[in-house]
A = this chain, B = another copy of it.
């Protein structure tokens, strides 16, 4: 019996460093798989189909929307982006764990369709530090900086919709926490009790928890 993989949603306001955390987490844990999004935007140079994105045309994307084919999707500057449901579902049912790095709006949509996911909210160590990080991101005007900062401050209220909070003070420490959360979730009784109680023979083969 294969235990279902975990869908691990790593999310948080802009500037909290979730991208760096995911990259490091995936580098250190080769058994984790990053979810690949689908988009209608044109591939950039060096972008690889099925690795960076699945590239499709607008009609295909819209058709998939009608067939409830996305865990979440959004339209940004006339381009669609979405998380294909079947692609994720296939990995999960073959026992693979899937990492989904996504903004807060997207995470909340995923939660509606897949509440068994592990929803992790990344927080900055302080609002001061968040200011610095948003500023460092580049040549933004004071106005666009303030807009992003206020947005981040507001988004923190959504933390209560998540299962876990990880403060990204040091990448190494934060990634360690993400790894611990994944290990712990695989030990949760509500995820594995059926396999223990329905067939105690399972125990005879020592097939749990790994």
Contacts and interface: CB of A to CB of B under 8 A. Distances in A.
Interface of A: 120-121, 123-129, 153, 156-157, 159-160, 162-167, 169, 176-177, 179-181, 183-185, 187-189, 192-193, 196-197, 200, 203-206, 208-210
Contacts of A185: 184
**Integer count of this chain's copies in the complex:** 2
25 contacts: A120-B187, A121-B189, A123-B208, A124-B203, A125-B206, A126-B205, A127-B203, A129-B206, A153-B200, A156-B196, A156-B200, A156-B203, A157-B197, A160-B193, A164-B184, A164-B188, A165-B187, A165-B192, A167-B209, A177-B187, A177-B209, A180-B180, A180-B184, A180-B187, A181-B187
A80 B58 CA distance: 73
Contacts of A188: 163-165
Contacts of A183: 176-177, 180-181, 184
Contacts of A197: 156-157, 159-160
Given A126-B206, A179-B180, A184-B185, 18 more contacts: A123-B196, A127-B204, A128-B204, A153-B200, A156-B197, A156-B203, A160-B197, A165-B187, A165-B189, A165-B196, A166-B209, A167-B208, A167-B209, A167-B210, A180-B181, A180-B183, A181-B187, A183-B184
B165 A200 contact: no
Contacts of A120: 187
B156 A193 contact: no
Contacts of A176: 183
Contacts of A166: 187, 209
